[in-house]
Amino acid sequence: MNPSKFIWKNGELLPWESATVHVMSHALHYGTSIFEGIRCYKTNEGRAIFRLDAHMRRFVESAKMYRIPLKHSQEQLMEGCRQTIDANGLTNAYIRPLSFYGAGSLGVVPGSNVPVETVIIAIEWGAYLGEEGLTQGIDVCVSSWSRTTSSSIPVLAKAGGHYLNAMLIGGEARRNGYVEGISVSDKGTISEGSAENIFLIRDQIIYTPPLGAAILGGITRASIIELAKSLGYEVVEQQLPRELMYVADEIFFTGTAAEVTPVRSVDGIEVGCGSRGPITEKIQSAFFGLFDGTTPDAHRWLDPVPTTTKA
C-alpha cells in the first residue's frame, strides 16, 4: 500500500502520518466501527467516484443500525470523499470512509464520553483478486464457516466487527490454496464470498442470492443487476442450493474491490469452460464501459471530482 499525502479526519485534511488513533480506542478492542469501500475511476470526462451517493447512504444507515451518532451529514461526507481524492491528486483510487468509537472507556457499551471519530482515506489500489483473475477467473472453495445471520447482527450494516467472519472464510480458503471462500447457510444455501456478492448463470438466466440470504446489500451487486437487465438478461434473486455452483455455466463475484471477477472452479470442480464465460464478459464490459464511455451512464452513477485543491 502506497501512503497518500492527506487523510480527511473529523472535517479537516491532515498529513498521512498525523492521522493517528489511541490504543485505547473502543473500536480497536471491540470492532465498533462502520465503513465503506468506494472506487474512483478515470473517465473521458475526468475522474469520477462510482455511486458515491449510494455508498454514503449505506454508511449513514450502517451507523443508524448500530446507533453510532455521526457528526457529519451524508452530503458533508460525500464532499469529504471528493476533497480527499482531490487533495491527494488521485485518479484511479480506492476510498475508505470509516467512523469508529475512540478512546474513553473499556466498557463494552460505549457511553456518551466515548467520542465518535470519522476518517476518509484514499489510496491507489489495483484488482483485489488479481489482474489475471479479471480475465481468467479464480479458484474458490466453500468454507466450513457459515455467514453470520440477522438473528445475531444487522448483516446489512457494513461494520468492522463483521469482517472477523469474512477473515475466517477468506483465510481458510487461502490456506487451502484457493483465492477466495464462499459461505453457505446452515440450510446449505449460498450466501456470498468473504467480501463479495456472487452471481450464477445457468441456461442464460442470471441468479443471485437475495438479501434474506444473510448477504451485504452490495452497491456493485445492485448495479450489475441493472446492467444485466439492460443487456436483456433475466435476473432472478432467490435462495440457491450449494450444489448449483457445481453445475453452473458461469459464476462471478461482484464488489467495490473485486469489481466483476469470474470464478473458474469451485471446490476443484471446473465452472463451465473453466475460464471467463461469455455472459460474464459482456457484463464486465458493460461495467467497465461506464468509465471509458462505451456504456452510457444512464443512472448518473458517476460523481465528478473537480480539481480545486492546490497541493
Active site residue 5: no
Q: Which of 98, 123, 148 is the last residue of a domain?
A: 123
User: Which residue in the list 42, 158, 187, 282 is annotated as catalytic?
Assistant: 158
Q: Is 181 found in the same domain as 77?
A: no
> Per mean pLDDT, which range of 79-83, 145-149, 177-181, 243-247 is the poorest?
145-149
Domain that holds residue 189: 131-292
SS3 per-residue string spanning 13-53: EEEHHHCCCCCCEHHHHHCCEEECCEEEEEECCEEEEECHH
Q: Is 271 found in the same domain as 139?
A: yes
Contacts with 136 (C-beta within 8 Å, 6 or more apart), sequence order? 262, 264, 275, 276
Q: Is 150 found in the same domain as 119?
A: no
Asked whether 43 and 292 are in contact (CB, 8 A), the reply is yes
Q: Considering the domain boundaries, does residue 264 fall inside one?
A: yes
Report helix, strand or coil for 220.
helix
Backbone angles phi, psi at 18, to 5 degrees: -95, -15
| pLDDT higher than 50, residue 311 | no
> What is the DSSP pairing of strand 205-208 with strand 234-237?
parallel
Q: Tens digit of pLDDT for each residue in 211-262?
A: 999 999 999 999 999 999 999 999 999 999 999 999 999 999 999 999 999 9
Q: Considering the domain boundaries, does residue 309 fall inside one?
A: no
pLDDT band at 142 (very low <50, low <70, confident <90, very high): very high
Q: Is 242 found in the same domain as 202?
A: yes
Q: Considering the domain boundaries, does residue 311 fall inside one?
A: no
- Where residue 285 sits, what CATH number does that domain have? 3.20.10.10
> Per mean pLDDT, which range of 73-82, 123-132, 137-146, 241-250 is the poorest?
123-132
Q: Is 118 found in the same domain as 136?
A: no
Number of structural domains in the chain: 2
Q: Is 277 found in the same domain as 185?
A: yes
Average pLDDT over residues 137-147: 96
Q: Which of 88, 123, 158 is the last residue of a domain?
A: 123
Q: Is 91 found in the same domain as 155?
A: no
Q: Considering the domain boundaries, does residue 301 fall inside one?
A: no
Q: Is 254 found in the same domain as 139?
A: yes
Q: Is 172 found in the same domain as 135?
A: yes
User: Within 13 Å, how many C-alpha atoms sit on residue 230's CB side?
Assistant: 16
User: Within 13 Å, how many C-alpha atoms sit on residue 165's CB side?
Assistant: 24
Q: Considering the domain boundaries, does residue 307 fall inside one?
A: no
| pLDDT higher than 60, residue 310 | no
Q: What is the DSSP letter of 148?
A: P
Average pLDDT over residues 298-303: 96
Q: Which of 69, 101, 123 is the last residue of a domain?
A: 123
Question: Which cell goes with 23?
Answer: 490504543
C-alpha to C-alpha distance for 261 and 272, rounded to whole angstroms? 15
Average pLDDT over residues 101-105: 95
Q: Considering the domain boundaries, does residue 189 fall inside one?
A: yes
In order, the DSSP letters of 99-119 are EEE-BS--SSS--TTSPEEEE
Q: Considering the domain boundaries, does residue 226 fall inside one?
A: yes
What is the residue-averaged pLDDT of the chain?
95
- Where residue 41 sits, what CATH number does that domain have? 3.30.470.10
Q: Considering the domain boundaries, does residue 44 fall inside one?
A: yes
Asked whether 149 and 214 are in contact (CB, 8 A), the reply is yes
Q: Is 259 found in the same domain as 143?
A: yes
C-alpha to C-alpha distance for 11 and 6, rounded to whole angstroms? 12
pLDDT, residue 309, reads 53
Q: Tens digit of pLDDT for each residue in 34-53?
A: 999 999 999 999 999 999 99
The model's pTM is 0.94
Q: Is 82 found in the same domain as 139?
A: no
C-alpha to C-alpha distance for 259 and 292, rounded to whole angstroms? 15
Q: Is 207 found in the same domain as 188?
A: yes
